[in-house]
Structure 1
Amino acid sequence: MSADGMPAALSPYVTTLAAYDLGPGSGGVHRGLPSSTLSITIPEADPVDIAWVGRPGPGRRLRAAVAGLHLDAAELRQRGCTRGLWLTLTPPGAAALLGVPASALAGEVAELADVVPALADLPERLAACRSWAQRRALVERRLLAGLARHGDRAARRTPRAALAALSGTGRVEEAARLLGCSRRHLSGAVRAELGVTPKEYQRLVRFEAARARLVAAARSGAAGLADVAAASGFADQAHLTREWRAMAGCTPTEWLRTEGPTPQPPSQPPR
């Protein structure tokens, strides 16, 4: 068992398992920011409506939503009951726990039952639970069952070393050098498994790092946007703001004003 209570076998694959409540102040609306993880959102009762910010066309109404890596923001809207369960997986976790490569979901949101038929009954099973402890235990059991089915095959194909190298460097060429391969080989392996290019993956990692520092700074009041930008690898505050506009559809300040720092799990809304 890991320090956060997660079974050790799931720790390499599950980054978040939490309850959420959008609450009355949000109007049941949440902005899902770009992420280097995959997310599963299971509303407690009413379906969730999801639309991509800035993309044409209607959104989708889903009983349980699974979203791949994405470089655009999404708007999640729940009417009626605004509570639910939120789960995020590392890219290797998609293959190991769900049986599908992360590339199959990149830039998309789909019904969980369509992606993983074995989990089609999970929303109803969760609704029947009487406590958060029961819900968490149920999800962990189902994920462990998925790992038993898919884990060995996934371990042979997921480029974990490549993801670690890309996360720890600022340039794709440097990551390729550390791995002892060509940039072309690295790009092909990452795109095949994640559905994004190595540069896009690094962009997601940098955005997430900036978001985490932004939240920490807002809570403590100890740092401003310029400090967050510098610590996160942006040229300056203007560069950070441009990237947030492009990826989140708003500036960092606008995001903090509308959503702001939120309590940590188990009450944190889906990201």
Structure 2
Amino acid sequence: MGRTTVENVAEYRERASRLDAAVVWSRTMPAHPAPVTVLPDGCMDLIWTEGALMVAGPDSRAFVAPSARSTEFVGIRFAPGTAPTLLGIPAVELLNQRVDLTALAPPRFTRELIDRIDNAPDRVAAMEAIALRFAAENGPTDPVLTAVVDTLSAGATVAHTAASTGMSPRMLHRRSLFAFGYGPKMLARILRFQRALTAIRTGIPPARIAATTGFADQAHLSREVRYLAGCSINTLKTR
């Protein structure tokens, strides 16, 4: 999933990570960057920038990051539900937040990670190595959570998702807060929005998008885009 909509950006690159379902990325900003709009996708990121590491929590609506003084960013985007296990941080505690890693982990440990990326000849590879270290130390994500994402991504209801993964609705909601930062109904809305976003960017007419991605009608699609992205469908086409 593409996480950001970037305006006035000199260069952005991403590739699949050796960590399952993750993406590593880098971004070089111009001298006077515009704000960056991050669209909700259920993911969390670990981000390095000039002597700092931060965790970008899951977003429930579009997040507008203010203009940054830094010009270089490197990150790894974790698939929905995976970061809390790897980082040991419940997603709900980071909902709609960007938090310095020093507030979440021992300062000495965080400083070690920052120095490693600061001094690396390939900062993207260094970030990836750190994520792989987290995975080796903290174990794999529960496959049930992956099944939740896959089932909701296919358009299933929350009730069907709970039943198919062997959980009660209450248990599914509780585990979703830890893994995704919000309940399964909100996660389903965001995953549906991401399906629609892919179609919007390929120029498919909104009425057809609504009919094929799980919306009641075009008006429903427009309302969801306005709520989650903070803009119109036409604006998304240009981002």
Q: Normalising by structure 2, what TM-score?
A: 0.79
CA deviations over 1:17-68 (Å, ceiling 9, x no partner)? 11123447x83321011121112333357xxxxxxxxxxxxxxxxx433222
**Residue 95 (str. 1) matches residue 76 (str. 2):** no
**Residue 113 (str. 1) matches residue 113 (str. 2):** no
Match of 1:6 in 2: 17
| Distance in 1, Cα, partners of 2:84 & 2:157 | 26
Against the structure 1 CA distance between its residues 71 and 185, is the aligned structure 2 distance closer, same or farther, given a 3 Å change threshold? same
Task: Compare 223-232 and 120-129 and name the one that shifted more.
Answer: 120-129
Cα deviation, residue 88, structure 1: 1.0
Q: Structure 1: which amino acid aligns with 2:56? A: A
Against the structure 1 CA distance between its residues 187 and 78, is the aligned structure 2 distance closer, same or farther, given a 3 Å change threshold? same
Task: Compare 139-148 and 100-109 and name the one that shifted more.
Answer: 100-109
Q: Kindly, what percent of the aligned residue pairs are identical?
A: 27
Which residue of the other structure, out of 74, 78, 86, is the alignment partner of 1:85? Answer: 74
**Residue 74 (str. 1) matches residue 66 (str. 2):** no
Alignment of 1:22-101 (within 5 A): 22-23=29-30, 27-44=33-50, 63-101=52-90
Q: Structure 1: which amino acid aligns with 2:232? A: T
Cα deviation, residue 6, structure 1: 3.1
| Distance in 2, Cα, partners of 1:30 & 1:5 | 22
Match of 1:194 in 2: 180
| Distance in 2, Cα, partners of 1:17 & 1:86 | 6
SS in 2 for 1:72: coil
Tell me, yes or no, if the aligned pair for 2:86 and 2:138 is still in contact at 8 Å: yes
Tell me, yes or no, if the aligned pair for 2:60 and 2:95 is still in contact at 8 Å: no
Match of 2:225 in 1: 244
Cα deviation, residue 200, structure 1: 0.6
| Distance in 2, Cα, partners of 1:116 & 1:35 | 25
Which residue of the other structure, out of 193, 198, 208, is the alignment partner of 1:227? Answer: 208
5+ residue gaps in structure 2?
A: 1-14
Match of 1:126 in 2: 117
Tell me, yes or no, if the aligned pair for 1:126 and 1:135 is still in contact at 8 Å: yes
CA deviations over 1:141-184 (Å, ceiling 9, x no partner)? 211221222116x549x633333322223311121232344323
SS in 2 for 1:159: helix
Against the structure 1 CA distance between its residues 96 and 103, is the aligned structure 2 distance closer, same or farther, given a 3 Å change threshold? same
Tell me, yes or no, if the aligned pair for 2:162 and 2:168 is still in contact at 8 Å: yes
5+ residue gaps in structure 1?
A: 46-62, 218-222, 261-271
Cα deviation, residue 5, structure 1: 6.2
Match of 1:19 in 2: 26
| Distance in 2, Cα, partners of 1:107 & 1:79 | 18
The total of aligned residue pairs comes to: 223
**Residue 213 (str. 1) matches residue 219 (str. 2):** no
Cα deviation, residue 81, structure 1: 4.4
Q: Normalising by structure 1, what TM-score?
A: 0.71
More contact order relative to length (CA 8 Å, sep ≥ 6): 1
| Distance in 2, Cα, partners of 1:189 & 1:143 | 22
| Distance in 2, Cα, partners of 1:5 & 1:109 | 23
| Distance in 1, Cα, partners of 2:67 & 2:43 | 22
SS in 2 for 1:78: coil
Match of 1:149 in 2: 137
